[in-house]
Amino acid sequence: MLSPTRDEVHRHLSVVGLMQPALHKQTQAPDPTQIDHDLFRAYTRLAHDIGGEADVPIEYHEKEEEIWELNTFAICECLAWRGVWTAEERRRKQNVDVGQTMYLGLPYYGRWLLTAARILVDKQYVTLTEMHDKIMELRERVASGKGLGEYLPAK
């Protein structure tokens, strides 16, 4: 397979750019006869499918995981161990189903947390109301400073 030319990459990214949430161009749903090859590629592009696309150089550096990231990983592994989800379900929901804005806007383990919450609600392990109430309880706890830096008993 030949690498795309600079013009082909630029044309593709300009079409994809029209669909970016922050730069969104209002359009009507096109008739299938109005969708050319470039528009079809842009519509079917997945947020995490960025291999081979032009980008700016990135400086990589080692980073030690924060406690919340380690806890998120452990929780998600326990959910998999208990049969709540498979690794493929998790990857699909956190990389494909979140959409480009959340994919690019959330930290890596932030997408894991969002995915865990969505799957727990979708599979009816908890209700959306229970999830909301727990989040509000945690926000109040953080705002008051209660329980920060100490282990809380599991409920």
Structure tokens belonging to residue 2: 């030949």
Residue showing tokens 């161990």: 81
Structure tokens belonging to residue 114: 């969002």
Handedness of CA 84, 103, 128, 72 (dihedral sign): positive
Catalytic residue from among 43, 60, 103, 108:
108
Residue 151 annotated as catalytic: no
Q: For residue 141, which phi and psi values (nearest 5 degrees)?
A: -65, -45
Catalytic residues: 108
